[in-house]
Amino acid sequence: MPLQSLPLKCLPLVAARDEPTEHRAPVVGRRSSSGFGRRRVVTPPTMSEFVDTPVLRVAYDVSGPADGHPVLAVHGWPDDIHCWDGVLPHLHRAGCRVYRPYLRGFGPTRFHSPDRPRSGQIGALGRDLADFLDALDLRDVVVAGHDWGARAGYVLGSLFPDRLRALVAMSAGYSTNRPDAPLPYSLTHAYWYEWFVASARGRRALDDDRRDLCRYLWTTWSPEWDFTESAFAQAAGAWDNPDWAEVSVHAYLHRWGEAAGDPAYQDIEDRLAEPPLIRVPTLVVHGECDGDNLASTTEGKDELFADAYRRVVLPGIGHFPPREEPRATADAILQLTPSTTVR
């Protein structure tokens, strides 16, 4: 059945048993049929693990059934891997093994070389995710990306689809990567912070006042969401990475043609200039009240998806669906995940 005709519905979830847990090496790829009918071990989120890619030492958390179907959950800006905390229990009970990497410039993730440009360009973020999947040899992966994670997910789905099963992209539309693309004034207004960091004053704010700036962004992007101070403080800890401000500034300067990219990613950027088709089944999820990437940014994109495609708008939700509506977010991911319900 085409994805377009599938209703967004809650998949049946079975309550987790109260069983002892243990940490095992991840089992990747599809879950074997022999997994059914025997006890499955669920690992809780733990201290970060690390894997080396050509450019980064990537910190990531992994949790869920050791033989579960792999889900790559990628955070946005300004946020961190804990945006998925409320989503995890639903995915675990449905039999998913969830990998949550810190993007470049966030948390414990570090560049190998001090001389590597601290680029935040979308081609670099997409290549980082492709390298992460290669390093862990993950296959048949469902990628769930929010904001920057969604944009990087689009790069995977269009240019590096071989390891992917499907893509769930949240709060960011797919479009050309050309900086001269038309932009309505409503979006120009919403993207004020992207122009702000082009100024010396904005860069000082990212360096010296990042928490107050980002608190304002969280508040205005999701005006109906009453986030807790503890949740904000936890995310803000990931922005103490020494490369966070430089990666953040470059991301927006490069996006609008105000800074050159890392030459290592020029081939990717050239291929993204006129957006290549997304080649995996895709579900786009957007909050109706998103004050950053307005909901209109994901409208009318059907022709950019070569495989099954569907868009869902969540009423009353702002920019952070994984935090504001974790159950609806999990249900969206499970729409494209093989049946792996825990027994």
Residue-wise pLDDT for 291-318, tens only, equals 999 999 999 999 999 999 999 999 999 9
pLDDT band at 3 (very low <50, low <70, confident <90, very high): very low
User: Which residues, listed in sequence order, are joined to residue 52 by a DSSP beta bridge?
Assistant: 57
Record the tokens describing residue 60, joined without a space.
């990531």
Task: Kindly report, residue by residue over 234-244, the tens digit of the pLDDT.
Answer: 999 999 999 99
pLDDT category of residue 42 using cuts at 50, 70 and 90: low
pLDDT in tens, 209-221: 999 999 999 999 9
pLDDT digits (tens, 9 = 90+) for 239-289: 999 999 999 999 999 999 999 999 999 999 999 998 999 999 999 999 999
Share of the chain above pLDDT 70, in %: 85
Residue 140 clears pLDDT 70, i.e. is over it: yes
pLDDT score at 44? 56
Q: With beta carbons less than 8 A apart as the criterion, state whether 198 and 189 touch.
A: no
pLDDT reading at 85 higher than 50: yes
Q: Rounded distance, CA 335 to CA 99, Å?
A: 18
pLDDT at 324: 98
Please tell me the predicted confidence (pLDDT) of residue 46: 58
Instruction: Return the pLDDT at 203.
Output: 95
pTM for the full predicted model: 0.86
Higher pLDDT, 67 or 178: 67
Is residue 123 within 8 Å of 148, Cβ to Cβ? no
In the predicted structure, residue 191 carries a pLDDT above the cut 70 = yes
Q: According to the model, what pLDDT value does residue 177 have?
A: 73
Is pLDDT of 124 > 70?
yes
Spatial separation of the C-alpha atoms in residues 304 and 296, rounded to whole Å? 16
Give pLDDT, residue 25. 34
Q: With bands split at pLDDT 50, 70 and 90, how would you rate the model's confidence at 332? A: very high
- Ranking 42-46, 107-111, 148-152 by mean pLDDT, the lowest is 42-46
3-state secondary structure 82-112: HHHCCCHHHHHHCCEEEEEECCCCCCCCEEC
pLDDT exceeds cutoff 50 at 343: no
Inform me whether the pLDDT recorded for 90 exceeds 80.
Answer: yes
The whole-number average pLDDT for the span 75-96 is 98
Q: What is the pLDDT of residues 19-39, one digit of tens each?
A: 333 333 333 333 332 232 333
Q: What's the mean pLDDT in 184-213?
A: 95
HEC sequence for 198-262? CCHHHHHHHHHCHHHHHHHHHHHHCCCCCCCHHHHHHHHHHHHCCCHHHHHHHHHHHHCCCCCCC
Residue 178 pLDDT: 80
Task: Look over the chain and give the mean of its residue pLDDT values, rounded to a whole number.
Answer: 87
**pLDDT band at 180; cut points 50, 70, 90:** confident
What mean pLDDT comes out for the span 106-135? 98
Reported confidence tier of residue 43, pLDDT bands at 50, 70, 90: low
* Among the listed residues 316, 146, 84, the one whose alpha carbon sits nearest the alpha carbon of residue 223: 316
At residue 26, the pLDDT reads 36
3-state secondary structure of 145: strand
